[in-house]
Structure 1
Amino acid sequence: MYTDPIRVLLIEDDLGDADLITEFLDFIKSTPFQITHHRCLQEVLQPRDQDAYDVILLDLSLPDSFGLETVEQVYNQFPTIPIVILSGLEDESLATIAVQKGAQDYLVKGDFDSNLLVRSIRYGIERAKTIQLLNQKEQQLQQANEQLEHRVAERTSELQQANDQLRTLESQLRLALAQEQELSHFKSRIISTVSHEYRTPLTTINSSAEILERYLHKLDAEKQRKHFQRIQLSVKHLTALVEDVLFINKAELEKVEFNPEPIYLVSFFEEIVEGLQITVDEKHQLFFTHHGSCECANLDPKLLRQMITNLLSNAIKYSPQGGKITLNLSCEENQVVFQVQDKGIGIPQADQAKLFESFSRAGNVGTIAGTGLGLSIVKKCVDLHGGEITVKSEVGFGTTFTVTLPLIK
């Protein structure tokens, strides 16, 4: 038994039918009803509290709306309130479509009494409650699913991050292993190269020292001086070899320091050329030219000396028949450019791509001694300055190396 009145919204334009429905509901003493009556649809379709009614009794033929469109508009306005259709038409297909569009029941006027009307109202209210409860459960289930999906997404993201970290670690380990293998290979190349290059100067030192020890009293001053010079040159060669190996090892470990300072370029270049000219034989002539304002520039003197010395030494070494070797310095506003040009054996095109790699030597060097470290050292010195080195060469006609260094303000 209902204690609180059932709030009914009656939408009926015929006053006679409205009075009859009101009487039907008043006749049921076990259930109190509170009826609100409107004769047209627009009076109902005004913003109002969705909880103001428990059930809607709706006539399909209104002055401002007719047929199923009326059901749609009322349902859109009150989606949670059960709708019972009161129609003058006994049309089963119409009743079916009305229920599909949101109505709970379809009653034909003249074919129902008080009990049928009240039972339809009660069933409609209970079905609406059940639907509302199911909707709440569905919403709760949807929220639970969304929370579960969110947790799954979070967990998936965590697993993905962990997987990415593992991949990164694996990549780092592979890189470290590759670097270790490369370093091991590099060290093997150093040992092999040094052991090979050491033999000739050590043999020279040993033989000259042995001759001086055994036959010093038989040698005149000129022959003694020649053997001492051979020993000194061999020692210098070994020292230079050790310095090259130490430098390239530091460079591979990225431990070479870059310390730029003001340098008077012309005098710096002239000093290097003059020092090398003393050590070469008469067949090789070194020429130095300069252009532009080359008074002072911020460069690393130690690395710059390595570049110039190695390039000139290579030009001398690979010009076995002698000839002119030119060092040209050009000073511009934002950069320094110098070129070393020789008329030596040249470099095959196929070898030029790997020319600046450690231990790389051209295929046409023959028996000319060398470690293949000189140009790689030059390249690393250029890179530390943020510069560039290029080569133009033709076999049998000579080679030109061009180094461009940006000026540090």
Structure 2
Amino acid sequence: MNNHQAEATQAEIMVVDDTPTNLQLLSSILIEQGYQVRSMIDGLLALESALCDPPDLILLDIIMPKIDGYDVCKQLKSNQKTEGIPVIFISALDETWDKVKAFAVGGADYITKPFQVEEVLARVENQLTLHKLRTQLIEQNQLLQQEIRDRISAQAALESLNQELETRIQARTVELRDYLEQLRNLESQLREALDREKEVSDLKSRIIFTISHEYRTPLMTILSSVELLEKYRHRLNDSQQVKHFWRIQAAVKHMTTLVNDLLFINQAEFDRLDFKPVVLNLVTFCQELFAPIQSSLGAKHSLVFSSVRDWEPISGDPKILRQIMTNIISNAIKYSPD
């Protein structure tokens, strides 16, 4: 038996999963490595068992009937008897929010299903080692604190009242100095937060003003074309009617672009942009981007794309890059002289 297996026989792991096949597979993997395994089919049984006899580590599924893994972990961490048990979540949920929530309720690690056996064993061993070191550190710290208390007590018995008073004054002075420094830091952070809030408020005001101003032109275009079609459609030939329909369609597209721009800015402002970079051929990307814009231009403007050299592929999010470049080109066309 190697050192790892010798240590593993001393460690008891609770596995909690409502899927029997997953429960059996994880239990078998851990038993083969010499761990003692306690299998639980639901969260309520796991809580009762852990409170009665705390294990050294818990592998915990998230989606379960009666009570999910998040609530199980939260209740474990709220009880002094079980708060120190490391909990490794193991779930098919792979969204960032799911992992953030797992750590927020007290999880020590997170494994995504389908899992690799090596990863499970490595993370289990790592958390057991950390838990062991943490326990040793707490014990050593308690011994050290006791030793410090004993020395202070012995020293206090030998020192005069004046020396003891001076020590307390010095300690209080340090605390006050640290407290004042903390107040300064908090004041600085508060000012920065207020400045950021003002910037966001100003940006929102400018966006609302710009959007409301930009909406007037396409709305007037739609309104005038609709009124003309309503009143004079029997006098207009097909070409003239199609022209008004095109004006309405162009105005609607412009309004849609404004809404998309507003949503894009809002997502960027609150760091909610879903950034998915891929390898892009910049020339091909630009050609595909320019083609529909070129076809929609009137006789007053022309748009030509050319590449002076071969570009290396780049890594970027095509959706975000298309949004930015479309806005730049649209503004260039919009504000170019006729």
TM-score (norm 2): 0.48
Greater share of strand: 1
**Between Structure 1 and Structure 2, whose CA radius of gyration is higher?**
1
